[in-house]
Structure 1
Amino acid sequence: MAAMYQGDFAAGESPEPAPVELPESQTVKSSRLAGIFSALVSIALLVAVAFQFRDMNFREIMAMIPRHPGFWIVFAGYYLAGPFCEWIIYRRLWHIPFTAMGALLRKLVSNELLLGYLGEAQFYAWVRSRQTLAAAPFGAIKDVTILSALTGNIATIIMLILAWPLVSAGIVGVEMKTAFMSLGIVLVTSFAIFLFRRRLFSLPQGQLWFIATVHSVRILATLGLAALMWHLVLPDVAIGMWLVLATLRLLISRLPLLPNKDIMFAGLAVFLMGHDVEITSLLAMMALVLLVTHLVVGTTLALVDLAETGRNK
């Protein structure tokens, strides 16, 4: 997938901007403000966690948790795939240590529990508060985020083409008009990125191609891990069928204009797989396990961030 970008990035290559040297007092003030912003997001995250925990039935949660150790190994890989791939990218750009995984996990949880792309803002603040990591991190974070959306769009188009027999037959539960409108939005946004690539991207062509490659690997890895994870819970269903379902799930989640995506996916899964009770329980269990994981990880990292902010004052 990433190979698609090589020629376009080469045509739109922009020289890497030289870092602007700021006065020491201004640098210290900027780092302090960035640290305060990161702390405020962490506080908001703790509030969101407390709100989510309020209505949880912990006895029901314990009953649904799988006991198979292989499931948790695969789940850990599935959960960490995104942040780890981003760490590989930023390691290449800035030589950041592995401890930056904490900031990237906090970015993931902030996006999931608070507001989309708020995690990017907090990660930017985290980097700004550590001036030794990068002199001008905004351009790199922007490029990584845009390329993540672009690779996701390309993957969506490819999956929609592969799944078109199911879509056109109405099996996926998407009306043809909605499918075409969603495809149009994906194509327009992708075309706009290519059209304005010279103004949008600040990193050189080689780094952009590397970032696109890592994002593509992340998409494939999460599809495979999701299929394997579900197969471990319901081994009677072939892993190949789970891989098809994981692909359709990603397609449904990324297409705009689709209401009730979770309900649509659940209905599709039952239609394709049968096992309606088992499938419904599996999807409910996975949603609950992901939410609890977000809450535990978010609470831990938010408290660590607040403690670090307090020490740096």
Structure 2
Amino acid sequence: MASRVYGSPGVQPANRLPSLAIRSSNWQRWLTAGISLALLVTILTRLDEFGFRQAFSVLPATPAFWLSFAAYYLALPGSEWLIFRRLWTLPASGIVPLLRKLVSNEVLLGYSGEAYFYAWARSHAKLVAAPFGAIKDVSILSALAGNLVTLAMLGLAWPLLANVAPQLHGKTIFVSTAVMLGSSMAILLFRGRLFSLDRAALRSVFSLHLLRLAVTTVLSGVMWHLALPEISIAWLVLLATLQLLVTRLPLIPSKDLVFANLAVFLVGHDNAVTMVVAMIAASILATHLLVGLMVALPDLLARRAA
């Protein structure tokens, strides 16, 4: 029996099928504990190198900025909670493994969070009997939505690149566009073999991904504007496009720091724009470290006590 699929007729919730319960195997326990340990070691290492005072000194102390920051940070795990809530009837506590998934992807290695979340879902068989297909489909649709939104932003930013960032106006953009178009076309071409969920569920998941990307793009612009009110619309569009391009890079952790480094490369070290972008990226990393400690340490202590 496959996992519960949103919109599929005749499929009963997994929690009504106790006979399908899957016991957590040793490899699942070792995987979740290993990711938690690796996350904790990495966080403690980076905490020793991180300058919190510098990160927060140039950012505004207004409630509007930090509310936008919090909404930006929680948009991805929040949207994924809504998705898996519909697919699996995920409880409110399911936000915790989704936060760990986010931090693992950003602090350790891209897609390490998916590996953890799969192991977590397998160990909670009352929620879902076969989670792999749903997790795979959600990840593929996230990539597809990201590609499409990035291409749309590239089209919007193209007239501005020649004046604001001429080094990006040419081969670099064409190569990036070709890669995104090729991967998106491949997903659409082989969708019959790639996806496990039904069409209604796929549409719902894809719509939530698009909404989340639109919200985070707007929130990024709001944060930059609040931190630097004199920033032009051209720079807001360019930064949003560059940020989306960086998120398309696979298997790279700390994409916000990569984005900040690219901004420094584009406009120089002394520009106020790069300072604000770098400090927001540093604040996001600091939040990753704090959230990672909060979600990884209790799990390791519980396993040690057991």
Q: TM-score range by the shorter chain?
A: 0.7 to 0.9
Query: Matches of residues 84-123 of structure 1 in structure 2 within 5 Å?
Result: 84-123=78-117
**Residues 187-235 of structure 1: CA deviation (Å, up to 9, x unaligned):** 1111111111111100000000000000000100001111111222223
CA distance in 2, matches of 1:250, 1:61: 19
Correspondent of 2:242 among 249, 253, 263 = 249
CA distance in 2, matches of 1:204, 1:176: 40
Please state how far the C-alpha of 1:170 moved relative to its aligned partner. 7.5
Q: Is 2:80 the counterpart of 1:82?
A: no
TM-score normalized by structure 2?
Answer: 0.83
**Residues 236-262 of structure 1: CA deviation (Å, up to 9, x unaligned):** 346x556424432334424669xx754
Query: Matches of residues 129-148 of structure 1 in structure 2 within 5 Å?
Result: 129-148=123-142
Cα gap change, 1:155/1:65 in structure 2, threshold over 3 Å: closer, same or farther? closer
**Contact kept in structure 1, 2:75 and 2:212, CA below 8 Å:** yes
CA distance in 1, matches of 2:169, 2:231: 28
Please state how far the C-alpha of 1:127 moved relative to its aligned partner. 1.0
**Residues 106-138 of structure 1: CA deviation (Å, up to 9, x unaligned):** 111100110100000001111111111110000
CA distance in 2, matches of 1:29, 1:282: 45
Secondary structure of 1:75's counterpart equals: helix
CA distance in 2, matches of 1:308, 1:218: 34
Query: Matches of residues 252-267 of structure 1 in structure 2 within 5 Å?
Result: 252-254=245-247, 262-266=260-264
AA in 2 matched with 1:253 = V
CA distance in 1, matches of 2:248, 2:129: 36
CA distance in 1, matches of 2:86, 2:211: 16
Gaps of 5+ in 1: 1-12
Equivalent residue, structure 2, for 1:27? 22
TM-score normalized by structure 1?
Answer: 0.81
Cα gap change, 1:284/1:251 in structure 2, threshold over 3 Å: closer, same or farther? closer
Equivalent residue, structure 1, for 2:37? 43
**Contact kept in structure 2, 1:140 and 1:202, CA below 8 Å:** yes
Q: Is 2:287 the counterpart of 1:293?
A: yes
Detail structure 1 runs of 4+ shifted over 6 Å in the superposition. Answer: 21-24
CA distance in 1, matches of 2:147, 2:204: 17
Query: Matches of residues 1-313 of structure 1 in structure 2 within 5 Å?
Result: 27-30=22-25, 32-61=26-55, 63-64=57-58, 66-167=60-161, 171-174=165-168, 176-237=170-231, 240=233, 243-254=236-247, 262-266=260-264, 268=266, 270=267, 277-310=271-304, 313=306
Cα gap change, 1:59/1:151 in structure 2, threshold over 3 Å: closer, same or farther? closer
CA distance in 2, matches of 1:159, 1:65: 26
CA distance in 2, matches of 1:231, 1:47: 35
